[in-house]
């Protein structure tokens, strides 16, 4: 049996109590959350890249090319809120190919030629596109 749009109230007590919900949730949980599972993670496992690649949302990339410039193509069908972390640890130019979406409201690819620069790209709708958050360079 499937129940849609259920409203739950009450308490779940005991160390072995288990509740399974799918879909979206609005509200709050009490407690330390130590037994909650399948929650979205903010832990980005960084990937070293030294050749051209297409970035995936929810990933972190570190460019370490010692040869030719690297092109990072952004996802072709981003969703609002998608996030990609990026660090350029090489002095060669890195091209961020927009792959059809805007970058900072511009319909142009982005060339990055600053060593030791890192930032996050967040996708926000088709009018703005990929937005740079938290730039840092040394």
Using 70 as the pLDDT threshold, list the residues of the chain that sit under it.
1-44, 66, 91, 135-138
Residue 125 has φ and ψ, to the nearest 5°, of 55, 175
Q: Are strands 117-124 and 46-49 parallel, antiparallel or unpaired?
A: unpaired
How much of the chain exceeds pLDDT 90, in percent? 39
C-alpha span between 20 and 2 (Å, rounded):
13
Domain assignments of the chain as residue spans, ordered by start? 46-137
From the number of C-beta atoms within 10 Å of its C-beta (0-12, 13-18, 19+), residue 83 rates as: middle
Out of 3.40.50.1370, 1.10.10.10, 2.60.120.640, 3.40.50.2300, select the CATH number for domain 46-137. 2.60.120.640
53-93 residue pLDDT tens = 999 999 999 988 767 888 999 999 999 999 999 888 876 77
């Amino acid at each position: 049996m499937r129940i849609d749009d259920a409203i739950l109230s009450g308490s779940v007590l005991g160390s072995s109590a288990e509740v399974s919900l799918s879909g979206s949730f609005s509200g709050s949980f009490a407690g330390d959350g130590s037994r909650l599972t399948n929650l979205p993670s903010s832990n980005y496992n960084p990937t070293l890249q030294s050749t051209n690649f297409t970035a995936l949302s929810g990933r972190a990339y570190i460019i370490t090319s010692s040869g030719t410039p690297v092109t990072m193509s952004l996802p072709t069908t981003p969703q609002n809120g998608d996030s990609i972390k990026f660090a350029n640890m090489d002095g060669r130019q890195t091209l961020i190919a927009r792959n059809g979406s805007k970058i900072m409201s511009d319909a142009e690819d982005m060339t990055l030629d600053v060593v030791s620069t890192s930032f996050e790209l967040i996708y926000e709708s088709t009018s703005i596109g990929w937005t740079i958050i938290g730039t840092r360079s040394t």
